[in-house]
Amino acid sequence: MAKRKGSMAQSGKAAEKPEADAFNDLFQPVYKGKGLTDEINTAEDKWNLLPAFLKVKGLVKQHLDSFNYFVDKDLKKIIQANQLVLSDVDPEFYLKYLDIRVGHKSSSLKRGIERKEVLMPPHECRLRDLTYSAPIYVDVEYTRGRKIIMHRDLEIGRMPIMLRSNKCILDGRTEGEMAILNECPLDPGGYFIVNGTEKVILVQEQLSKNRIIVEADEKKQIVQASVTSSTHERKSKTYVVTKNNRIYLKHNSISEEIPIVLVLKAAGITSDMEIMQLVCGEDSTYQDMFIVNFEEAAKLGIYTQKEALEYIGKRVKTVRRINSPRLTLLQEGIEAIATTVIAHIAVENLDFREKALYIAMMTRRVVMAMHNPKLVDDRDYVGNKRLELAGQLLALLFEDLFKKFNNDFKANIDKILKKPSRASEFDALLSINIHSNNITTGMNRAISTGNWSLKRFKMERAGVTHVLSRLSYISALGMMTRISSQFEKSRKVSGPRALQPSQFGMLCTSDTPEGEACGLVKNLALMTHITTDDEEDPVKRLCYALGIENIAIVDSGNLHTNGTFGVHLNGTLIGTTRFPIQFVSRFRFLRRTGKVSSFISIFISMHHTAVHIAADGGRICRPLIIVENGVSKVNSDHLLKLRNGEWEFDDFLRNGLVEYLDVNEENDSYIALYERDIVKTTTHLEIEPFTVLGAVAGLIPYPHHNQSPRNTYQCAMGKQAIGAIAYNQFRRIDTLLYLMVYPQQPMVKTKTIELIDYDKLPAGQNATVAVMSYSGYDIEDALVLNKASVDRGFGRCQTLRKNTTTLKRYPNHTKDIVSGMRVDEDGKPVFQHSSLGPDGLGEVGMRVESGQVFINKCVPTNANENIIGGPATNEYQSQEQHRETPMVYRGPEPSYVDQVMMSVGDNDQALIKVLLRQTRRPELGDKFSSRHGQKGVCGIIVQQEDLPFNDDGISPDIIMNPHGFPSRMTVGKMLELISGKAGVLNGTLEYGTCFGGSKLEDMSKILVDKGFSYSGKDMLYSGITGEALQAYIFFGPIYYQKLKHMVLDKMHARARGPRAVLTRQPTEGRSRDGGLRLGEMERDCVIAYGASQLLLERLMLSSDAFDVDICGECGLMGYNGWCPSCKTSEGIVKMTIPYAAKLLFQELISMNIAPRLKLGDVF
């Protein structure tokens, strides 16, 4: 935090965080009808903690935190781990990395100003297809001859910078400054710009590392405890499994399963009694189950540690590197136990005890699960998951690249040092720069392709990054909170897809896609935080200070006796205590007073009789109000301070009023949903229940009244809604951009909408809806649109499409040019060039019709020729030798040139971007949806005078068929209509917040007061006959979104057109002007109908009919009335077959199969 504040101060006196601008009105004197002087009601106003939380954390804080941690801390750790570069040739030589910085030099710190050296403002990078990056500087110390030289600020590459991270120039800018930089202040950041495209590194979900997971297969009678050890060097998985009720240790690098007693003996627990004590304690049932394992060791005749180590050493699969010494069996065994098995626990000075205890603990868990099958762990439990963020992934990548960089560097030095005589003194720095491009390109390539391949961990992941979807503000936001699972989509297991109870408050319960990724792709809930790694050592020392008995001196016999609780830090046993409750409450007390990082979780597990402390990164946690003695610690005084701006969210944390709990600790707490639910044993109070939903599901009004799948559908559709995408939307040149011309904020808002600023960048309009039947054009959810509304701008949107070209330079000094327009005899430009300007580019504002040119690019005809004649002839040629390769607009509707940009890209080639715009009004077939998962297409557009109207003369914008309600059960939509109607009449915006919002009774009251029916139904008159309609019509405003699926983009028909080269069948797909396929099922229908001539026409004549000459003699195909195999022209028959059939015959012939056609007469 301190750092953030520091950087804020430099960016101007009045500098406030950019979010502050957006959040400011939440702290305005009068907000939501409450003035500063109004009484504070704790129960209702505690929700103000949420905007305070988001003000500090933001919506994409997890990404920013993770990236900041990476550039500020992780990078330093990586440098330290790979500190030295030594030479094989010269033992005197060394180069040592001292420090690493991203984006600023060491000197800038001294002067107290932290100037951020980024390439250029992010928006310019977007436009010019560049990478938004900052230099990576290292300080090195190395030997030159006899001297030791320090070199500061050596650039080793460039690091892509996450937008809005603390290395980004947007960090800590005000709204005004953002406008100067062409940035949208509401844009959350958290993504990268690589080669001009915005890339997000999605959050990855994985099973936690370095933790024991016990699973059972009851059918196979197998219980196994497994742990995935992950260190900087290696990643491996160790299993303790049962086989015929005996327990073995299994590891990839050991060829067979090793009896567990043997492993424990090898780890130095030589006596059977101690093994029994460590595994079973005093429990006689466990002892009885475990006893068989001793026989195994006795049968093998292995009694001592040395014997056991040799036994294991014999079975180790060794991968010997060249030059490495051959190891004895004993050494192999030691190596296996010390470093291979359970690699994350280091063995120092041959003290195997910690490892032995860990293995014994795994064995104990297996024995416990064998005895009581309920004691297995749940893989899908959120507490057993860790989220991997951009920072961690980048750290893995960077370490790999950095190692490679150092290896190359070392090879380079060796090459030079090997030379016996050198003219000048050797300076290592001269060879370091040669490879400096590796890191830059490596990072860029990984982010832009999404392929994370790391040899170290044998990691080969594709699809890690995605292009940030800019379809709407919500889709971009939704992408930043998305969590993708490593789980295979094809496997048919329901577990990982199911909604876990432990997801409550952590992951959104509604926002998941339908179909194959259902339940595997999740979204973060609104008020969550993802932890970064915390140091283990201080926590350990604190535990000892709090009276935890160090595991080094704990007697094995007492470990599992009644009342002794193990204390585990990040899954590793570090000590024991007999007073777990006291210890845990003291620890929590220290955390609440801010002495320990607030993201460290601690809880008691009665099943394991253990206290678990977690300080690792990637845990999801969320803040909760602390309750003590049945009283919430947050009271009105605190909320007043928050409202007056004296306190921030962190003050609540610092003063022990609010704390972060992760899923595991949540299970150790008793959390009240509302203040009225607090009882004596309550430990925490929910800040706001609607935070179970995420940002995207938070748009739905009254979601708690809807059938749950409807909310899920809306989550998918909200991302497709056309609206305003950002304040800088007109400055952007994206491949495809949809913008709504007159977006409105919803009449019925939710608190989430305000918090995520959806009201500032909305995607939809408040349509007056009449729920009734009208004409027959409203079946199957089709909507009836009012023509007058459409004329007034309802549902009007713009599509902007980018067209890019580069002007290349060729090796023979020729280059592409843009030439001016061609004119006819009157001096007017020809039709194709009529929208061009004199520079050969489309003029901004000009209409471009199908077939017209908007970039008149010409390439030299001799581009590929070598330079033979010399420059003189070349010059002469360059006058003539260009061929027009214009960019021609093709489309059913004309477009307008919106923006033209010309710049120079990375490789010094001119880059031209032309943005073409279309303004579209709704038409038949365009797709609309309300915020309740109720989508429909426009079925008919009706003249306003034909539409029904009410007493006030209001006619609806949309008529919706009432059949949409019974089966969908979207009661929230009805409530939205009533609240919206009340709001319109009352002149207020109403709220439909989840588990809250404006009450139906109040809304009905307003309706009645304004002279309407409490039920929201009005008397309407037919627009056609003028008669009053037979029933009262449910009538009022509902927020409607226009979805990106529009008829204009989809309409397609073809009579004749292109065919595929190979098969000569019509091409596929609209983009290739493809044919419309008469598929298998349609074929079945035609066969069943008996329309054989139609079948013949569709399947062959209209597709790939081909005339062949068939030899009646041999049945093979010939040509020109000649059979090449029979060498005759007799008996050749002409016939028509599909080209695909001809192709098949030829392919069969090519593999020595002769398909012969035997022809006979039909009649």
Partner 1 sequence: MSLFVSDDEIDEPMEGVTGSMDGGYIDDLDDPVVEEIPISFKPISEAELYLLQFPNKAANSAYAKHEIANISDAKVKSQSGIIEVEIPVDKSRFFDQEKSEKWFNVEAQTLSGVSSDAQGYCAGQLVNGELCLFPLAKTMQLRPSFKYVDALRAFRNESARATDLHHGPDARDKKKDVQVVQMSMKTVGDNAPRLGGALQSKKREEEERYESYEFRAQHDEASVSVLKSLRQMSDSELRLETRADNLGGLLE
Work out how close the CB of 591 gets to partner 1 at its nearest, in angstroms, rounded to a whole number: 9
d(CA 44, CA 993): 13
Q: Is 781 a catalytic residue?
A: yes
Is 400 a binder of partner 1 (CB under 8 A)? no
Task: Kindly state whether residue 349 participates in binding partner 1, applying the rule CB under 8 A.
Answer: yes
91 contributes a contact to partner 1 by CB under 8 A: yes
| Cβ 913 vs Cβ 930: under 8 Å | no
Least separation, in Å, of the C-beta of 554 and partner 1?
9
Q: Are 444 and 195 in contact (CB under 8 A)?
A: yes
| Cβ at position 622, least distance to partner 1 in Å | 21
Q: Which stretch binds partner 1 (CB under 8 A): 348-356, 522-530, 1107-1115, 1123-1131?
A: 348-356
Q: Based on CB atoms, which residue is closest to partner 1, 477 or 625?
A: 625
For position 86 contacting partner 1 by CB under 8 A, the verdict is: yes
Residue 88 as a binder of partner 1 (CB under 8 A): the answer is yes
- Rounded Cα–Cα distance for residues 603 and 605 (Å): 7
The single residue among 338, 527, 614, 658 that binds partner 1, judged by CB under 8 A, is 338
In 821-881, which ranges are continuous DSSP H helix?
871-880
Q: Which range binds partner 1 by CB under 8 A, 478-486, 512-520, 547-555, 906-914?
A: 547-555
Catalytic member of 781, 839, 946, 1109: 781
Stretch that binds partner 1, among 333-341, 378-386, 760-768, 804-812 (CB under 8 A): 333-341
Q: Which of 493, 589, 1101, 1144 binds partner 1 (CB under 8 A)?
A: 589
Amino acid at 1083: R
In sequence order, what are the residues at sequence separation of 6 or more whose Cβ sits closer than 8 angstroms to the Cβ of residue 542?
587, 590, 596
Q: Which of 117, 139, 335, 686 binds partner 1 (CB under 8 A)?
A: 335
Tokens of 937: 């297409």
Q: Which residue has the tokens 């160790």?
A: 238
DSSP code, position 962: G
Name, in order, each residue with C-beta under 8 angstroms of 377's C-beta and a sequence gap of 6 or more: 212, 213, 214, 215, 384
Q: Which member of 307, 400, 898, 957 binds partner 1 (CB under 8 A)?
A: 307
Position 924 contacts partner 1 (CB under 8 A):
no
Q: Around Cβ 551, how many Cβ atoms within 10 Å?
A: 17
**Least CB distance from residue 46 to partner 1, whole Å?**
16
* Residue 597 binds partner 1 (CB under 8 A): yes
Q: Which residue from 27, 239, 303, 670 is in contact with partner 1, where contact means CB under 8 A?
A: 303
Instruction: Output the smallest distance, CB 306 to partner 1, in A.
Output: 5
- State the minimum distance, in angstroms, from the CB of residue 772 to partner 1: 59
Angle at 33 between CA 29 and CA 37, to 5 degrees: 45
Q: How far apart, in whole angstroms, are the C-alpha atoms of residue 850 and residue 16?
A: 50
Q: Which stretch binds partner 1 (CB under 8 A): 193-201, 302-310, 442-450, 787-795?
A: 302-310
Between strands 847-848 and 895-904, the pairing is antiparallel
Q: Which helix (H) or strand (E) holds 139?
A: strand 133-144
**Paired strand residues for 901:** 913
Q: For partner 1, which stretch binds (CB under 8 A), given 128-136, 299-307, 819-827, 1151-1159?
A: 299-307
**Which burial class, exposed, middle or buried, applies to 1018 when counting CB atoms under 10 A from its CB (0-12, 13-18, 19+)?**
buried
Per CB under 8 A, does 1089 bind partner 1? Answer: no
Quick check: 582 binds partner 1 (CB under 8 A)?
Answer: yes
At 321, the amino acid letter reads R
User: Whole-number minimum distance, CB 975 to partner 1, in Å?
Assistant: 41
Instruction: Tell whether residue 96 is a contact of partner 1 (CB under 8 A).
Output: no
671 is a site residue for partner 1 (CB under 8 A): no
Check residue 539 for interaction with partner 1 (CB under 8 A).
yes
Contact 329, 313 (CB under 8 A): yes
- Closer by beta carbon to partner 1, 537 or else 908: 537
* Residues whose CB falls within 8 Å of the CB of residue 1082, separated by 6 or more in sequence, listed in order: none
Is position 80 an interface residue for partner 1 (rule: CB under 8 A)? no
Longest dimension (CA), the chain: 108
By CB under 8 A, is residue 234 in contact with partner 1? no
Does 282 participate in binding partner 1 (rule CB under 8 A)?
A: no
**Cα within 13 Å of Cα(994), Cβ side:** 24
Site for partner 1 in 353-382 (CB under 8 A): 353
Among 156, 347, 413, 685, binds partner 1 (CB under 8 A): 347
681 is a contact residue toward partner 1 (CB under 8 A) = no
Question: Which residues on neighbouring strands pair with residue 626, listed in sequence order?
Answer: 684
Our finding on whether 351 is near partner 1 (CB under 8 A) is yes
Kindly state whether residue 270 participates in binding partner 1, applying the rule CB under 8 A.
Answer: yes
Tell me the closest approach of the beta carbon of residue 464 to partner 1, in angstroms: 32
Q: Which of 417, 542, 901, 1000 binds partner 1 (CB under 8 A)?
A: 542
**What does residue 480 show for φ and ψ, rounded to 5 degrees?**
-70, -25
Among 656, 837, 905, 996, the residue binding partner 1 under the rule CB under 8 A is: 656
Query: Which one, 477 or 559, has the nearer CB to partner 1?
Result: 559
The answer to whether residue 348 forms part of the interface with partner 1 (CB under 8 A) is yes
d(CA 687, CA 515): 33
Residues binding partner 1: what is the number (CB under 8 A)? 68
Please report, as residue ranges, which positions from 623 to 642 form the binding site for partner 1 (by CB under 8 A). 628-629, 637
Q: Is 143 in the site for partner 1 (CB under 8 A)?
A: no
User: Among the candidate windows 316-324, 707-715, 811-819, 1012-1020, which touches partner 1 by CB under 8 A?
Assistant: 316-324
- Give the closest residue to 1157 by CA, choosing from 1110, 1121, 1088: 1110
Residue 809 found at the interface with partner 1 (CB under 8 A): no
Q: Which of 541, 1052, 1070, 1077 binds partner 1 (CB under 8 A)?
A: 541
Query: Secondary structure of the chain: what % helix, strand, coil (to 5)?
Result: 35, 25, 40
Distances, alpha carbon 12 to alpha carbons 117, 177, 291, in Å: 18, 10, 73
List phi, psi (to 5°) of 898: -100, -45
CB nearer partner 1, residue 280 or residue 1038: 280
Any contact of residue 593 with partner 1 (CB under 8 A)?
yes
Distance CA 799, CA 808 (A): 29
Residue closer to partner 1, measured from CB, 102 or 334: 334
User: 1091-1100: buried (b, 16+ CB within 10 Å) or exposed (e) per residue?
Assistant: eeeebeebeb
Closest contact distance (angstroms) between CB of 368 and partner 1 is 22
Judged by DSSP in three states, 752 sits in helix
Quote the least distance from Cβ 350 to partner 1, whole Å: 5
Bridge partners of 783, per DSSP, are 938
538 part of the interface to partner 1, by CB under 8 A? yes
Phi, psi of 762 (to 5 degrees): -80, 165
> CA 911, CA 906: separation in Å to the nearest integer?
9
Minimum CB separation of residue 144 from partner 1 in Å reads 20
The C-alpha atoms of residue 1011 and residue 982 are separated, in whole angstroms, by: 11
Decide if residue 590 touches partner 1 (CB under 8 A).
Answer: yes
- Site for partner 1, residues 249 to 268, rule: CB under 8 A: 268
Dihedral sign from CA coordinates of 52, 54, 57, 58: negative
First-last CA distance in the chain: 92
Residue 1065's CB: how many other CB atoms inside 10 A?
A: 17
837 contacts partner 1 (rule: CB under 8 A): no
CA triple 80-85-89, angle to 5 deg: 160
Q: Which residues here bind partner 1, judged by CB under 8 A?
A: 2, 86, 88, 91, 268-271, 273-274, 303-307, 321, 323-325, 327, 331, 334-335, 337-339, 346-351, 353, 535, 537-539, 541-542, 544-545, 550, 552-553, 555-557, 579, 581-582, 585-586, 588-590, 593-597, 628-629, 637, 651, 654-657
What residues are labeled active site? 781
